[in-house]
Chains A and B, each alone.
Chain A
Amino acid sequence: MANIAMVEAVSLALSHELEHDKDVVILGEDVGINGGVFRATSGLAQKFGENRVIDTPLAEAMIAGMTVGLATQGMKPVAEAQFLGFIFPMFEQIVCHAARMRNRTRGRLTCPLVIRAPFGGGIHAPEHHSESIESMFAHTPGIRVVIPSSPSRAYGLLLAAIRDPDPVLFLEPKRIYRLVKEEVVNDGEELPLDMCFELREGNDITLVTWGSMVKETLEAADALAKQDISAEVIDVATVSPIDHDTIAESVKKTGRCVIIQEAPKHCSVGSEIAATLAENSLYSLMAPVKRVAGYDVIMPLFKLEKKYMPTVGRILKAVNEVMEVS
């Protein structure tokens, strides 16, 4: 079994489901013969044919609306939004229909769909290609928002998302699409949604993160180990609904927490985690919870994007501030 990158793991999961479930179809712009602009659907049209991997006209609202229509009739469509920055025409269909169909009809019609979208900064892309807007969707009742952060988690979580009977927005942090390779066994084993993953055990502080920031957070944890600070690292993975119990359990042990996200700070997933800790875990905390986030600014074009994104240095600074409180 070869080592593969995260984007290849996405492709592997799609291929597995196309092969094992005849109701699964893929649709989107350039997903066919071109295999997607990031090659996430590479080779799938050639393998499964153009009735399973469908190039659509260039119209995002239509792609989302047709995905809803396909799902209500018992298919399991996996649509691709080419970049998360282009998802806004889809927003109405996701919020007003995909998220509501089951509730609207008391379960008569359901929406077992997945919309995948590459997102996040750090790859020197043009405007609208780099934003992290997961909290806009996390705020919407009726949909799950899932963000993988490694090849094996991308594989297992995408399988779970496709098999889930409800709509899932699957956001792929494209900066780490090809960052690391690991062995992924194509055994069709899914990973659980709605659950955090503990990536590193520690006793002194809990670092909570997801998506591409997992990379910087793990590096920060390595650096902290050299300072004799033992950091527990949690990958939230499903940012809606959030597995608050696992985070609370960790904070109970460590008494300190820093939340790291690439998204702007205001009204974000990190805000929700911090607020929940304030509500339920105040007496476990020995220091205020801190958030290391993107600034509340328009995502800068690439000359400044590195200044926008949280760095290992910023994480260490926040951790040291939290550790100083006794």
Chain B
Amino acid sequence: MTTVASFSVEYIQYLSPNGTLTGETIPPIAKDFETIKSLYKTMVMTRVFDAKAISLQRTGKLGTYASSLGHEAVHVGIGSAMKYEDVFAPAYREYGVQFIRGVKMSEVLLYWGGDERGSNFSGPPHDFAWCVPIATQNTHAAGAALSFKLRKQPRCTVSVIGDGGSSKGDFLEAINAASAFKLPMVFVIINNGWAISVPREKQSSGETLAQKGIAGGLPSLQVDGNDLLAVHHEVKKALERARNGEGATVIEAITYRLGDHTTADDASRYRPDEEVENAKRFEPVLRLRQYLMDNNQWSVQQENKLMEDCAIKVEAAVKEYQSASKLPVSDMFDYMFAELPHDLQEQRAFALALEEENS
């Protein structure tokens, strides 16, 4: 027998759950405290926003909402590693990435409030909107990456799926295409342990999800998704490789979904409380705060001030969301095509006349 190929999957963690640096390798960001503080603030803001969005839904002021609780490090880590000209292809809960890229909190609320204007957001105009059909955004990201390669632009795409998404053909077809075309892109699998009620071990008996990338011919690794330093550093490295023409990377970020799948879900039906309680010991925000405090970079006063700031900003976002202008009925017709075909013009006129009649 001859071994024709052999593989291994690395696991990268720089910041341990108790906030101390692990191992000998220390990434540059670990000593860039100004950047870390700024990212920490975004992580906290994301969490405060998330709690507010859930309470808006509970009080009937928002539609179904997908919480990002527990994903703050992986989201902010991805967002901070990307450049503006790169393209982000989200699933539907990666607000931390999007806030860093300029999407407004009020726009996220608009989207979950049933208003398409939320997807015409203030983030980079080339970024994809939220993508509900699982993993289908992976091939969009591959297509965008191919456009950069063909046009010789130094840009990359990053697409995000969950552990459930890694079971889909769209993901596997996209990593295969990224490998075949050597595309400038990064795939992140945010493995939060649960695809609604189905646990990670039921998605695949493979030891890692990252190894699916290896099958496609891509360098693939695992990172601690609750470690901002690891996510930021590894995504940045993968983006640099992509930008240098060295192709795509698959990163499986291990985190935990501390909340329900969405506000329409009740995780207590299928998930023991003890598991959630245990996962809180590894959660990302506390860990980073501890690291900052241990390095005398953060104080209780600063924390209190940050919480006040976040509350004010989130309240302002809610106000902005709630004061959005009423959608005219014509809006559902006006973005179907560049020019409205004849039959739709008739239907639009009918709908407007009906509104007039009923008002």
Interface of A toward B, CB cutoff 8 Å: 25, 51, 56-57, 59, 61-62, 64-75, 77, 89, 92-93, 96-97, 102-110, 141-142, 164-166, 194, 241-245
Contacts and interface: CB of A to CB of B under 8 A. Distances in A.
B336 A65 contact: no
Contact of B146 (A66, A102, A106): A66
Given A65-B139, A245-B342, A57 B180 contact: yes
A242 B120 CA distance: 30
Interface of B: 87, 116-117, 119-121, 125-126, 128-129, 131, 133, 136, 138-148, 150, 157, 169-170, 173-174, 176-177, 180, 335-338, 341-344
A241 B341 contact: yes
A25 B150 CA distance: 10
Nearest to B140: A69
Contacts of B176: 57, 59, 62
A73 B144 contact: yes
A75 B133 contact: no
B336 A142 contact: yes
Contacts of A71: 143
Contacts of A89: 169
B-side interface mostly: helix
B150 A72 contact: no
B152 to A, nearest CB: 10
A194 B136 contact: no
B142 A65 contact: yes
Given A70-B146, A242-B343, A102 B337 contact: yes
Given A97-B140, A166-B337, A74 B174 contact: no
The 9 closest A-B pairs by CB, nearest first: A69-B143, A65-B139, A66-B143, A62-B173, A106-B120, A69-B140, A165-B338, A241-B341, A73-B147
A243 B342 contact: yes
B139 to A, nearest CB: 2
B344 A241 contact: yes
Contacts of B343: 241-242, 244
Nearest to B145: A69
A110 B143 contact: no
Given A92-B136, A105-B129, A69 B146 contact: yes
Given A65-B138, A73-B87, A73-B126, A57 B177 contact: yes
A106 B117 contact: yes
B139 A66 contact: yes
B336 A75 contact: no
A105 B144 contact: no
26 contacts: A57-B173, A57-B180, A59-B169, A62-B142, A65-B139, A66-B140, A66-B177, A69-B139, A69-B146, A69-B157, A73-B143, A74-B147, A75-B147, A77-B143, A93-B136, A97-B140, A103-B335, A105-B120, A105-B129, A109-B126, A164-B338, A165-B337, A165-B338, A194-B342, A241-B344, A242-B343
A73 B157 CA distance: 11
A56 B133 CA distance: 23
Contacts of A51: 150
B133 A92 contact: yes
Contacts of B147: 69-70, 73-75
B342 A102 contact: no
Nearest to A51: B150
